[in-house]
Amino acid sequence: MSAFLRILAFIINAIACVVNEILNVIIPRRKPTYPPITNPLLLKSVTDLLTDLKERKLTSEKIVTAYIERIKVVNASLNAVIEDRFEEALKEARRADNLISKAKDEFQMLLLFHRHPLLGIPFTVKESCGVQGMSQCVGSVARKNEKCPKNGDVLELLKTAGAIPLLVSANPEFCLAFDGDTRVAGKCLNPYDLRRSSGGSSSGEASLNGAGATTFGLASDISGSIRLPALFCGVFGHKPTGGLLSVRGHFPFSVTDKDFPFYLQMGPITRFARDMPILLHIMAGENASKLKFEEEVKLDDLKIYYTYSMGSFLHVPADFEMKLAITRAVKCFEKGGISTEEVKIQGFKNAIEMCLSSLANIKGLPSIITQSIENKPNKVELIKEITRSLVGLSPNTSMPLFVELMIQVNAFIPSEQAKEWRSELKNLHAELTRLLGTNGVLFLPTYHKTANFFNGSSFLNISGVLFMLLFNVLGFPATHVPMGLDRKGLPVGFQVVAAPYMDKLCLQVAAELEGAFGGWVQPQES
C-alpha cells in the first residue's frame, strides 16, 4: 500500500506542476480593491501600542475604533469575518481606559500591566478556537446556528491578560481543508490577489492580518493551518511545540485520543515578529516556564541547518522563489558569522507514510455528515457524499469528506505497516532532536509555492503540505517567516523549525530576519 501512496503522489504532483504553470499564465492577478493603510496607528506593533497605552499617548478605545474601521473596509473584499462583537469590544476598551486612568504613578502603571500585560489590545480569533456566545459552526451547514458555550482555554488566558477579541473569523468546514471556502460563508480571499486562496484552515486570521486589519490573531494548526495561511498572506505564524498550549474549547476536538492535543496546537498569527514572544508566553499559561524566555538567545552560538526539499522525487519540489528566500536568509546569517550547513535528512523521504499513518490513527472526532462520534457513515456513504459534493449537491465540502474517508480507511496503510511507520517517526524525532539540540534551527520551505487559486488547485498541490504536517506529528515548533513578494506581487517565505520547547529560537530568528528583510509588506505596496 505504500507503493500505492507513492504512485498516487507522483501522479498528482506531475499534474499539479503542469496545471500550476497554466493557471499562472491564463488567470490574471486581481489586485486589492480596498485602500492602503493611512492611519499610522495601524502600523504599530503590539509592543509599541502597549508603550503608548502606558504613556497615555493612546487610548484603547481609539485603537479598537481604528481596527473596527479597518476591518469594515477590508472585509467587503476579503469575506474574512464570520461574526463580530464590535459593540462589546468598545465597552471593554473603555473599561481598560478607565483602569489605566486610575494608575496614579509609574509604579501603579507597571503593576497594572504586570497583571494584565495585553490590557486594551484588540485582536481577532479563528472561529474554531472558541469565543463564548459567538458562532462556532466551523463551516458546517448542520452547525449553522451553533454558538460557543464557553471561552477556549487560550482565549481565556488572552482575555485575562486584558486583550479584547473583536470577532471570529473564517475557517473551512471542520478545519479540514486548505482553503477557506464553505457552503455557510463562501470564499475567504487573499489580500494580495483576490483570485487566490488565503489558505487554510486559519483562513480569516491570515487574511485580516495580511490586510493590516488586526494586531494579531489566535489560530490553530494540525497540518499547517497556521503556517500555510501565513505564507499565502505574507505574515508571521507560529505553531508551538506539541502539547505546549491547551486546545480545550477548540472545535473539532477529541476527548479520547491522547495524540490529538499533541498534533493540534493553537498559536499566533501576526504582522510583527517582535510581538510573538509576549503572545506565546501568555498563550502558554502554566507551561510558559518550559519556554525559558528568561534565558537569552546567544546568536553567536546559533547553528543554522537548511534544506530545500524532502529529499525524494515523490515530494513536490519547491519553486525557485521559495528556495531563493531560504538562500537569502542563510547568506544573511553567514555574513553575521553564524554557522550554516545544508543537510539532507534521510528520514524525510518517508514523510508521506509517517504523516498519514499518524493522522489516520486519530480517534474520537465527530463525523462531518452525522455530527456524531459514535454513529459514523460507512465508506460507501462517504464516497457517495464526496461525489455529490463535487457536483454541488451536498451541504458539505469535498476536502473534509475526503479526509474523513482517509481516516476511515487508515490512509490505505495496513495496521502493521502503520505501526512500523510510527516507529520510524520516533527515530526521526530522536535524530532531529540530536541534530538541533538547544541551539540549532532548520530552515526549509513552508510550502512549495505561493498562494493557490480557488479552483481545486489546492487538492492538486496537497503533497506540499507535508513540509508542515511532518512537524505537527513530530511535535516540533515551527515559525513561518515572510520574505517579501515575488514578481507577481505574492508573498514568499519559509519556516524555521527547532527542537521541542526551543520555540524561542524560532521566534528570535524570525525577529532577526524581520529586521534584515522587512517582514510583512502591505498588499497595496506590491
Active site residue ranges: 126, 201, 225
What does 245-281 look like in DSSP terms, one character per residue?
A: S--TT-SS--SS-TTHHHH-EEEEEES-GGGHHHHHH
| Strand order from edge to edge, sheet including 478-485 | 81-84, 164-169, 122-126, 216-221, 265-270, 236-239, 478-485, 491-498, 440-444, 303-306, 339-342
Q: Are 269 and 205 in contact (CB under 8 A)?
A: yes
3-state secondary structure of 479: strand
Cis peptide before 312 (omega within 30 of 0): no
Taking the C-alpha atoms of residue 459 and residue 440, their distance in angstroms, rounded to an integer, is 33
Q: How many residues does this entry show for the chain?
A: 526
- In the chain, the amino acid numbered 257 is D
Q: Are 26 and 18 in contact (CB under 8 A)?
A: no
Taking the C-alpha atoms of residue 109 and residue 103, their distance in angstroms, rounded to an integer, is 5
3-state secondary structure of 394: coil
Residue 369 C-alpha from the chain's centroid: 26
- Cβ neighbours of residue 322 closer than 8 Å, sequence gap 6 or more: 445, 446, 447, 448, 449, 492, 493, 494
Residue carrying C-alpha cell 498572506: 233
Q: Are 179 and 197 in contact (CB under 8 A)?
A: yes
Q: Are 360 and 247 in contact (CB under 8 A)?
A: no
Taking the C-alpha atoms of residue 224 and residue 466, their distance in angstroms, rounded to an integer, is 9
